């Protein structure tokens, strides 16, 4: 959690505990799978065309706004977003319509992340516990008595349409045994999942990646317009040694990943 986000709301001990819990969520395979799916989306041509289009429409520099002299992110004085929340909501709605809906990304969680990307050209996961993953925990009774906004409810319904309601007396083992039951999983949970799945969404096929390998592949793709010999020499400067055939294959695979399925 950044100092700017904290703004004195938590003591040092509370902040450490919060970050510990937050990291537990981020280490979860469901979060990692969803986050890798999102990062793959950010490399697609359609995604980058939309970002470029939005920056042009809302008079944002091609690479986003820059840090101020204090190293903080703020709207410059001439920005149409300065003291104009309505304009920011207009942009958010376009992000939801053109990106979140298309890729079934939780509207609230990911529109906030994408707003920051459009504005400042950086991507950072949400600070909210349990956000941007494949699961969420909620207090059903409390939400009925004091419901969230329609926007958040719609986001949750789209991203998490299936619920397992848990007794306050159930243990962790009880829950695991329930989910592991093949009949329950196949006939109830998986049956409902198939009811809401979009055949064009392939989150399950996105595997955890080796970061250094992905950085290497991104570097090769960014230099794809150079000759294979030039790319090989650039890689050698980084102590990475690949033959031309391997480089060509990586370029081809990265192009496929960036195309819409």
**Spatial CA neighbour of 114 closest among 40, 45, 38, 46:** 38
Q: pLDDT tens-digit profile of 36-62?
A: 899 989 989 999 999 999 999 999 999
Tokens of 113: 């992340």
Chain segment 235-245, per-residue pLDDT in tens:
999 888 888 88
Name the residue among 53, 32, 33, 26 with its Cα closest to residue 201. Answer: 33
Q: Please name which of 163, 110, 105 lies closest in space to residue 139, comparing C-alpha atoms.
A: 163
Measured between alpha carbons, how far is 162 from 156 in angstroms, rounded to an integer? Answer: 10
| E-only strand ranges, the chain | none
Q: What is the pLDDT of residue 160?
A: 92
Residue ranges per domain, the chain? 3-120, 209-258
Report the alpha-carbon distance of residue 110 to residue 154 in Å, rounded: 13
User: Are the beta carbons of 38 and 132 closer than 8 angstroms?
Assistant: yes
Question: What pLDDT score does 10 carry?
Answer: 65
8-state DSSP, 71? S
CA separation for the pair 119, 60 (Å, rounded): 7
Chain-centroid distance, C-alpha 201: 14
Q: Assign residue 24 a region: left if phi > 0, alpha if psi is -120 to 50, beta otherwise? A: alpha
CA distance 153 to 151: 6
> pTM for the whole thing?
0.73
The tens-digit pLDDT sequence of the chain (261 residues) is 555 445 556 678 877 776 777 777 777 788 888 888 999 899 899 999 999 999 999 999 999 988 777 767 778 878 888 888 899 999 999 999 999 999 999 998 899 999 999 999 989 887 676 678 888 888 888 877 766 677 788 888 999 999 999 999 999 999 999 999 999 999 999 999 999 999 888 886 555 566 778 788 889 988 989 998 899 999 999 888 888 888 888 888 888 777 764
Contact between 133 and 34 under an 8 Å Cβ cutoff? The reply is yes
């Amino acid at each position: 959690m950044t100092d700017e986000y904290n703004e004195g709301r938590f003591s040092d001990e509370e902040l450490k505990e919060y970050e510990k819990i937050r990291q537990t969520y981020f280490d979860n395979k469901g979060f990692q799978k969803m986050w890798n799916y999102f990062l793959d989306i950010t490399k697609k041509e359609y995604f980058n065309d939309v970002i470029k289009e939005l920056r042009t429409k809302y008079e944002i520099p091609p690479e986003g706004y820059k840090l101020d002299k204090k190293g903080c992110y703020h709207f410059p004085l001439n920005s149409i977003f300065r003291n104009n929340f309505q304009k920011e909501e207009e942009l958010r709605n376009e992000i939801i319509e053109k990106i979140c809906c298309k890729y079934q990304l939780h509207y609230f969680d990911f529109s906030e992340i994408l707003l920051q990307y459009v504005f400042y050209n950086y991507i950072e996961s949400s600070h909210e516990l349990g956000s941007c993953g494949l699961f969420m925990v909620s207090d059903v009774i409390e939400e009925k008595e004091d419901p969230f906004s329609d926007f958040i409810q719609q986001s949750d319904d789209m991203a998490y349409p299936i619920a397992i309601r848990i007794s306050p007396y159930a243990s962790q083992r009880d829950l695991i045994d329930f989910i592991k039951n093949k009949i329950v999983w196949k006939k109830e949970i998986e049956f409902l999942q198939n009811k809401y799945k979009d055949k064009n969404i392939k989150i399950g096929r996105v595997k955890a990646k080796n970061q250094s390998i992905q950085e290497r592949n991104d570097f090769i793709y960014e230099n794809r317009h150079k000759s294979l010999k030039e790319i090989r020499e650039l890689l050698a400067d980084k102590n990475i040694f690949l033959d031309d055939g391997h480089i060509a294959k990586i370029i081809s695979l990265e192009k496929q990943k960036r195309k819409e399925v």
